[in-house]
């Protein structure tokens, strides 16, 4: 007989690490220097005596370090972290066994240094004075955090979407630290389609008169442009089938059309709600910077001087590559190209396409199949 025993409420605390104090600022890929840099992060579980049971989770573009559990002061009706179904005691990423770290990316607005942070030179928010950052810069900042925590070996790095890009960048930049990697719903580089959607989102923000070339802090911000950008992005995260099942052509609290520009359809109302909700928690400039970093990401083009996955031949990393059947932002053929590239460099690669009709965001939805895949994969990762 099963019981509905309520799980204990896991409370975690956001922590902060600051480095790159002047004159030792962080050197970015663009050649610019940035400092001081603050990284927000959370940890789950206990570090073992060998300091080798570490799992680094990398989040998607608008995510944060709060991957699981609850923060102090969260009310009873608060939602847990964004991957609470996967991370925690006895779950797919078991915090009873592993020491789990998730940090907020450089350029974000969820605790780490980004365009909304105070520029030490002007004592005002950076705005567009914030230097352009790349996925590689984000990973370098995470590496500085690992050094601070005295961690030199990562059991695995796992993340989806832009988080998956960070996973791959970790393998390229610091392969000696990474024993295994789980990139989900991601790509080695953006397609023209993905770049196009990001550009439309950016233009919607920059066309908002309240954007004021990024100098809107303390004033009315580009809320309409940011909301539209989120609406555009949200369409790419779903699938045709998911939208058909969830909305179809059903009307929103009406029996007939308005014969105007109200939100007649449920899907219109849903997108407007998602846009307005996003405005309350995210910074428009951060969206500009992070989407541009994702567009710049490229581990295929050998015409550049940057590292690529072809350079992994001498480093043994165990990979689990996961895609979703209905993901049209990063379709399964992107994952297959990644698998082929890894195999050519001699890596130990497993691949799974999960059947799901939810679209790109499927990796964020509770799924026992994903938990079982990752927990089984971790069991097979050899000790140092």
Name the β-bridge partners of 26.
Answer: 34
For residues 46-70, b (16+ Cβ closer than 10 Å) or e, as one string?
Answer: ebeeeebbbbbbbbbbbbbbbbbbb
208 — alpha (psi -120 to 50), left (phi > 0) or beta?
Answer: beta
235 — alpha (psi -120 to 50), left (phi > 0) or beta?
Answer: alpha
Distance of CA 149 to the CA centre of its chain: 22
CB neighbour list of residue 32: distance below 8 Å, 6 or more residues apart: 131, 132
Show the tokens assigned to 350.
Answer: 């497993």
> Would you please indicate which residues are annotated as catalytic (active-site) residues?
161, 327, 360
Q: Are 229 and 208 in contact (CB under 8 A)?
A: no
Nearest CA among 88, 347, 362 for reference residue 242: 362
Show the tokens assigned to 106.
Answer: 């450089």
Q: Are 320 and 160 in contact (CB under 8 A)?
A: no
Q: Are 376 and 368 in contact (CB under 8 A)?
A: no
The secondary structure of residue 373, as a DSSP letter, is H
Q: CA 321 to CA 353: how far, in whole Å?
A: 8
């Amino acid at each position: 007989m099963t019981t509905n025993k309520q799980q204990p409420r896991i409370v975690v605390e956001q922590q902060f690490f600051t480095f790159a104090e002047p004159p030792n600022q962080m050197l970015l890929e663009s050649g610019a220097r940035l400092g001081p840099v603050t990284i927000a992060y959370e940890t789950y579980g206990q570090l073992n005596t060998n300091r080798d049971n570490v799992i680094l989770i990398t989040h998607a573009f608008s995510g944060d370090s709060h991957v699981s559990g609850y923060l102090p002061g969260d009310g009873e009706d608060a939602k847990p972290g964004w991957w609470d179904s996967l991370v925690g005691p006895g779950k797919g990423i078991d915090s009873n066994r592993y020491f789990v770290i998730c940090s907020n990316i450089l350029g974000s607005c969820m605790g780490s240094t980004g365009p909304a942070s105070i520029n030490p030179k002007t004592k005002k928010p950076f705005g567009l004075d914030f230097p352009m950052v790349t996925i590689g810069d984000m990973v370098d900042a995470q590496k500085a955090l690992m050094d601070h925590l005295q961690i030199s070996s990562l059991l695995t790095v796992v993340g989806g979407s832009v988080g998956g890009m960070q996973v791959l960048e970790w393998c390229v930049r610091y392969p000696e630290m990474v024993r295994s990697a789980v990139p989900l719903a991601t790509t080695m580089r953006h397609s023209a389609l993905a770049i196009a959607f990001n550009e439309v989102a950016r233009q919607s923000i920059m066309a908002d008169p309240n954007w004021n070339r990024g100098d809107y802090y303390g004033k009315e911000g580009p809320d309409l442009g940011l909301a539209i950008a989120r609406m555009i992005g949200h369409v790419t995260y779903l699938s045709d089938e998911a939208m058909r099942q969830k909305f179809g052509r059903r009307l929103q609290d009406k029996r007939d059309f308005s014969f105007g520009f109200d939100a007649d359809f449920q899907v219109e109302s849903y997108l407007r709600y998602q846009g307005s909700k996003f405005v309350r928690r995210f910074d428009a400039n951060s969206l500009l910077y992070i989407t541009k970093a994702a567009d710049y990401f490229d581990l295929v083009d050998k015409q550049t001087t940057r590292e690529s996955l072809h350079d992994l031949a001498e480093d043994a990393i165990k990979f689990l590559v996961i895609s979703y059947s209905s993901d049209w932002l990063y379709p399964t053929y992107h994952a297959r190209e990644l698998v082929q590239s890894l195999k050519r460099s001699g890596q130990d690669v497993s691949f799974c396409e999960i059947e799901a009709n939810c679209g790109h965001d499927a990796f964020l939805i509770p799924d026992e199949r994903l938990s079982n895949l990752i927990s089984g994969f971790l069991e097979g990762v050899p000790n140092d």
